[in-house]
Structure 1
Amino acid sequence: MDALSSVLSRIALRAGVFYSGNLCGLHDFEHDVFKGHLHLIERGPITLHMLGQADVHLTEPTVLFLPRPQWHRLSADDGAGADVVCGTIALGGGVHNPVSASLPDVVQVPLSALPGVRALLALMRQEAFQEQPGRQAVLDRLCEVLILQLLRHCMAQGITSGGLLAGLADPKLGKALRAVHDDPAQDWDLPNMAAAASMSRARFAHHFKAVLGHTPAHYLSQWRIQTAQQLMQQGQSIQQAAHAVGYGSASAFTRAFVRELGISPGAWLMATSKGGPQTQH
């Protein structure tokens, strides 16, 4: 399994298309506590407004991805308007998951730079205007495919602000990250992680911190806890999840969980079962 697939198999990607059609005038998109936004601009012009940032004027077909929750506004001509598809994007682990954290506040990519998107657009348009069974589910899945293509592009073109995606794109760090992701329960001390990257310990530690912004030990702890969260949501007990990701006891896991998230695993699980936040950090 390639590095990005390895990550996304453990960080659930969910997209929800909520509008497809012509957009006229001003439209505000409120801060969503748990989700980012995707806007597929098929025909403009259109302008993106965000608090504290310069306006983004778009005249060509473009994908806009706001990976973290933030208020923004789209403005289009009152007459001709703009043809858009709008959706929300949620990644498992909450809004601070390592994939979203790797990206800038706005990812702006012309459709011409994303091979195959035209065919995807045609399918989305076809589904949007036909009342077929499963219409919403198909639109949501197609939107997820678009996000995957966008993440590929970001890795290939270096459109990251450091973090996990930059690490996965690094030829040597990517090897170590994939090994950790595939088997988080292994005894991943610094020498073992450096060996997986075919680097010396000192060089690996320095390069890892420079690219991902965390020490290898801190990243390992985050990944183990995030993997354990997924296992608990799938029905495993706290003790089972703790052992599955490499903790010798439930109490050691609980201490690490509280240190990382500020909440106990039991309290977190209760909050998520009631629709509360997925993480507290």
Structure 2
Amino acid sequence: MDRLTDFLQRFELRAMLLHNGALVRPLQAETSEGTGRLYLLRRGTVELAGPGRRACVLREPSLIFYARPQRHVLRSAGEGRADVLGAAVEFGAGDENPLLQGLDLPLCLPLASMPGATALIDLLFEEATSRRCGQAAVLERLSEVLVVRLLRLAMERKLMDRGVMAGLSDPRLARALTAVHAAPESGWTLERMAARAGMSRSRFAEHFSTVMGLPAAEYLKRWRVGLAKRFLREGRAVKQVALDVGYGSSASFGRAFAQIEGITPTAWLRGSHEVA
């Protein structure tokens, strides 16, 4: 497996079209909506504003990506027409995907800085103006591909200096992380992860904490519990989920789950069903 495949296989990426065309009214998002946002500015000038930050004015064709749900508003800011394509983006339910933990701030990139995605973006804009049958479905699928290309670009250019994206951008940490993501049920220890990274145990532990923002053992636990929540929601038995994510017994799994969620897996699942 490569650095991104396990995330995309285990946490489903979905894009849902929200807007296509002239930005007449502001596009607003609330944290409670539970989805990220992808915007493509084709022409015109827009202003992006969010709580606690200065408003950002974009005057050239640009991409804006909120990986996590955050309150913000995008509005037209020029005299002429602003054409925008907007989509809601979801990486699984809730905040289970650790990939999102390193993406707290929106990515704002001029389209000219993404030459490798030019053909894809051109196809998106062509489809956006075609008004042919199935247009919304095509735009959503192309938006999903664009998000993957954007995540790849963020790793290649090391756009993040902390969190999972930063770890996947680090050649040594990426080897350990990719192995853990591919086989969470394996008996991972700090020594085994360090060996995957080609580092000493102490050096790996220090470097992992610095780049990722938390110790390796804590990250492993959070990755396993995130997967477990998805498996539980799919209807798997608690005992089977415990084995699937690397715990030898339901008791040890329950303790790890409670350390992250504050409640037992059974109580969490019951609450999840009640909310649904």
TM superposition score normalised by structure 2: 0.91
Tell me the residue number matched to 2:163: 163
| 2:28 alignment partner in structure 1 | 28
Partner of residue 42, structure 1: 42
Stretch deviating more after TM superposition (199-208 or 158-167): 158-167
Q: Residues 31-66 of structure 1, C-alpha deviation per residue, up to 9 Å, x if partnerless?
A: 344111111111121111111111111111111112
Q: What is the DSSP-based 3-state SS (H/G/I as helix, E as strand, rest coil) of the residue aligned with 1:63?
A: strand
Aligned to 2:193: 193
| Structure 1 residue 147 corresponds to structure 2 residue 147 | yes
Match of 1:59 in 2: 59
**1:132 corresponding residue in structure 2:** 133
What are the Cα deviations for residues 220-256 of structure 1, in whole angstroms up to 9, with x where unaligned?
A: 1111111222323333211111111111111221221
Change beyond 3 A, Cα 1:115–1:234:
farther
Shift of 1:126: 4.2
Relative distance call for 1:116 and 1:170 in structure 2 (3 A) is closer
Equivalent residue of 1:195, what SS? helix
Name the structure with the higher helix share.
2
2:14·2:144 contact (CA, 8 Å) conserved in 1?
yes
Corresponding position of 1:279: none
Match of 2:211 in 1: 211
Give the 3 Å change call, closer, same or farther, for CA 154–275 of structure 1 in structure 2.
Answer: farther
- SS, match of residue 40 in structure 1: strand
* Equivalent pairs, count: 275
How do 1:1-281 residues align onto structure 2 when only pairs under 5 Å count?
A: 1-24=1-24, 26-77=26-77, 79-92=79-92, 94-95=94-95, 97-128=97-128, 129-133=130-134, 135-273=135-273, 276=276
Q: Is the 8 A contact 1:209 1:216 kept in 2?
A: yes
**C-alpha displacement of 1:17:** 1.4
**Cα distance between partner residues in 2 of 1:146 and 1:166:** 20
CA distance in 2, matches of 1:109, 1:78: 19
User: Partner amino acid for 1:60?
Assistant: E
Q: Letter of the 1:268 partner, please give it.
A: W
Unaligned runs of 5+ in 2: none
User: Percent identity between the aligned chains?
Assistant: 40
2 CA distance for matches of 1:183 and 1:177? 10
Amino acid at match of 1:236: R
1: CA distance between counterparts of 2:70 and 2:184? 32
Q: How far apart, in 1, do the equivalents of 2:91 and 2:272 lie?
A: 14
**Cα separation, 2, equivalents of 1:202 and 1:32:** 41
The Cα shift of 1:21 comes to 0.5
Aligned residue type for 1:151: L
**Counterpart of 1:55 in structure 2: which amino acid?**
A
The answer on whether the counterparts of 1:11 and 1:92 sit within 8 Å (CA) in structure 2 is yes
More divergent stretch after superposition (144-153 vs 85-94): 85-94
Deviation by residue 1:174-210 (Cα, 9 ceiling, x = unmatched): 1111111111111111111111111000000000000
Shifted more, 237-246 versus 2-11: the winner is: 2-11
Q: Which moved more, 1:108-117 or 1:201-210?
A: 108-117
Change (3 A) 1:72 1:109: same
User: C-alpha distance in 2, partners of 1:94/1:161?
Assistant: 24
Distance in 1 between residues matched to 2:108 and 2:219, nearest whole Å: 28
For residue 67 of structure 1, report the CA deviation from its aligned partner: 2.1
